[in-house]
Structure 1
């Protein structure tokens, strides 16, 4: 069934309303809405519109076809809106406040997870769905205790307490939790190893791709595939061992759906491409584009499922922009942008290999081998000058890597430039497919999605957040 895909009407003004009213977000449906048995909310964390744009350009030039996300627009399959992403403390949100707006139905200050400015602790949406009988879960490429998944799950005033969040998850007994962050659960965790407790509570714990693929739905699942965040997709793609051991976002997503889809009361799942945000913070072009494309692959798989299922509302969005990258005008913009097709590794991976004792020639060879760029001598010298305070012969940890400088240098060779290294206050893309999507209005505020999801699933009124 075709759905409207163009923005119509005016924008709603104001940032200060803390709680959602249904009439503000839900249009009058024609013929009555169909219930969404399942809800899948997909978040490309920190995705500026330029990121979505460039991933689509890459897909068209490298593969001869549109990205799955923008393909929904081209094929007139989805409803599209703009979303205001502000928090209670700023027009520019962080991921914790952004996810809490969806998870708790109210705006909270940056850094908080579902704890309001007056101490309110609204019940997070996955707890509501679990209480009503649905299976629930989160999938991410960063720690599963990170801000975006946690915003759907917990109430805690400090997003940095990831070891505490891990323990809260134990008590919640959600059905599928998969991503990185093993250091917040295992032997390295401050406060003690939680893995034996998860096993005692009946969980199946998967620590690599094969263990994940072998999972069945007999037990709840905790999947931990990296100590911190998962590798960037461009690095995983060019490392045979990582391909064997680390699942893709699409693989984790489809396994989560497989484990929950036959439940009689349906399921609710949050899917996050978390390292899109990390790459934007680092001005890491290869990390950014290929992780966005990995997210897009998951979008395609989810839409395939939803089309066949007919009872699944899919929401695709981001929590905020980040660094506002874009392809800028130049005489050889096409040729330069196509250099991305030769990237084998992210800037993060490459810079971590560089040693101050290396010759300029060796660094040039490394850059050409791993990113396909023949870098000029003066640019290599400029890059090396930013390592001058590092002990010679030492491998550089991420805290000391010159991300900004290297991102700026690469801009000469790719024509992709960055506006900064942090979150932005942009209105963002909001896309919906499936039952309930016809109710979306052209402009919404982030906190309004909480009741929107509950209403689409026909949850009892006492679960709705009201003024």
Structure 2
């Protein structure tokens, strides 16, 4: 080696260690290119709505301990198949977002106030990303386990000053010509349930859509037609209830809908974009319902497998897997019996929602205790049974989002905690940073820490579509 060069390089090397941390931080670092060297023909954006890190952790623990396998999401980390990041989830009005503002950050590329979809404080509207991709010739769709008109799918597709304007959002999808839309929400399409008596199913059929309303309909879809699949009034059933109740088995899983949506759009010459939402992960967190939470997260995880299997075969598909915000921050609690207690969740047959809905004011204490043991293998004390029964006799009352019947969700989760070692910090959204994983062409553009709005730009860069002016009115 040339001695002079060696000494010069040694001086530079040793000099670096003489710099202060602030000076080191100021040294320019290579930046990722804003354009992907490989073009993403398709994009699949997956959202486990309301997934705190504890939810991802517990579903993987359950999968390992009870099912004997690593969850697919965590396997992607173990096998180093994905780029990984933390993401801040704030909205324009709060460090804690709702789903409408969160989806608008992904969909419109801007932070808006909670409660609105791609709409600014003065009514200005921002172009939803699925509309932009359709303008560039791609097919676009959404599948979800809640109503297809709910905030998360709507945030990629429409502008609305009110996230709850679901009857109007159902009409907007038809006007925009979205290619595949699947989920719940019959009350927003059915003339017998809409206040204005409009028959939106007929509107969609007149526009050339095939309309399906049960899982068997997914098996014979015409690839040459757009698809509207509405499988329930309100949200689809929780996964654990669907698995254990025969009357629910003809509703599709998230993986079923995802596979069908990909099949419908994958041969389009200009490619497709698809949003996949595990919406009932959020609802179960609002209810502090651990069995519902874990099983719906695992159902989302099966959809992850469906998507990654396709993306690996295809080679031209960018997959983004994330959540829009945390919710209730559940987690396992230290103790000598923590593992055994957590594993007892495998004995739960139903959601807390189903269990508590079956209790009536005329139950006696023994009937309450017998029913809870049948559903969860938990032996209540007389005092616990009396507390639960108080909610049905008017003595006690509990509020909460998606708790329409004022059921004792919080009380019962506290009782369960003694047996399953799972605790919750609240019954609502949280502002913690969340996980992002990206696979396929464009995944290298994911920085280690991002704002939620940056995923909007990442999708456009990966597909090599010029960024349009976000504000459209």
Q: Give the TM-score, by structure 2 length.
A: 0.89
Counterpart for residue 93 of structure 1? 97
Q: Deviations over 1:24-57 (max 9, x none)?
A: xx94259962111000000000011100000000
Q: Is the 8 A contact 1:180 1:230 kept in 2?
A: yes
Q: Distance in 1 between matches of 2:46 and 2:395?
A: 40
Q: Say whether residues 1:336 and 2:341 are aligned partners.
A: yes
1:314-393 alignment, distance < 5 Å: 314-389=319-394
Task: Tell me how far 1:107 sits from its aligned partner.
Answer: 0.5
Counterpart for residue 17 of structure 1? none
2:270 to 244, 265, 272: 265
| SS of residue matched to 1:81 | strand
Q: Distance in 2 between matches of 1:464 and 1:165?
A: 20
Task: Tell me how far 1:461 sits from its aligned partner.
Answer: 4.0
Larger Rg, first or second structure (1 or 2): 2
| SS of residue matched to 1:205 | strand
2:134 to 125, 130, 137: 130
Task: Tell me how far 1:398 sits from its aligned partner.
Answer: 3.6
Q: Distance in 2 between matches of 1:261 and 1:121?
A: 31
Counterpart for residue 423 of structure 2? 417
Q: Is the 8 A contact 1:29 1:438 kept in 2?
A: no
Q: Deviations over 1:111-160 (max 9, x none)?
A: 00000123321110000111111010000000000000000000011001
Q: Is the 8 A contact 1:454 1:463 kept in 2?
A: no
Q: Deviations over 1:59-110 (max 9, x none)?
A: 0001111110011111111111000100000010000000000100100000
Q: Deviations over 1:198-222 (max 9, x none)?
A: 1111110000000122212121000
| SS of residue matched to 1:265 | coil
Task: Tell me how far 1:388 sits from its aligned partner.
Answer: 2.7
Q: Is the 8 A contact 1:100 1:114 kept in 2?
A: yes
| SS of residue matched to 2:435 | strand
Q: Say whether residues 1:165 and 2:174 are aligned partners.
A: no
Q: Distance in 2 between matches of 1:190 and 1:150?
A: 21
Q: Give the TM-score, by structure 1 length.
A: 0.90
RMSD over aligned CA atoms reads 1.9
- CA 1:421–1:62 in 2, change beyond 3 Å: closer, same or farther? same
Q: Say whether residues 1:79 and 2:87 are aligned partners.
A: no
- CA 1:31–1:149 in 2, change beyond 3 Å: closer, same or farther? closer
Q: Say whether residues 1:55 and 2:59 are aligned partners.
A: yes
Q: Is the 8 A contact 1:27 1:441 kept in 2?
A: no
Q: Is the 8 A contact 2:153 2:275 kept in 1?
A: yes
Task: Tell me how far 1:378 sits from its aligned partner.
Answer: 2.3
| SS of residue matched to 2:181 | strand
Bigger CA drift: 191-200 or 178-187? Answer: 191-200
Task: Tell me how far 1:298 sits from its aligned partner.
Answer: 0.4
2:188 to 184, 187, 200: 184
Counterpart for residue 4 of structure 2? none
Q: Distance in 2 between matches of 1:322 and 1:31?
A: 34
Bigger CA drift: 112-121 or 412-421? Answer: 112-121
- CA 1:32–1:457 in 2, change beyond 3 Å: closer, same or farther? closer
Q: Distance in 1 between matches of 2:357 and 2:336?
A: 32
1:153-302 alignment, distance < 5 Å: 153-187=157-191, 188-191=193-196, 192-243=198-249, 245-302=250-307
Counterpart for residue 451 of structure 2? 445
Q: Distance in 2 between matches of 1:27 and 1:356?
A: 64
| SS of residue matched to 1:58 | helix
Q: Distance in 2 between matches of 1:444 and 1:359?
A: 54
Q: Say whether residues 1:399 and 2:393 are aligned partners.
A: no
Q: Is the 8 A contact 2:72 2:305 kept in 1?
A: yes
Paired residues, number = 436
2:460 to 427, 437, 454: 454
Task: Tell me how far 1:408 sits from its aligned partner.
Answer: 1.1
- CA 1:27–1:181 in 2, change beyond 3 Å: closer, same or farther? farther
1:2-17 alignment, distance < 5 Å: none
Bigger CA drift: 301-310 or 355-364? Answer: 355-364
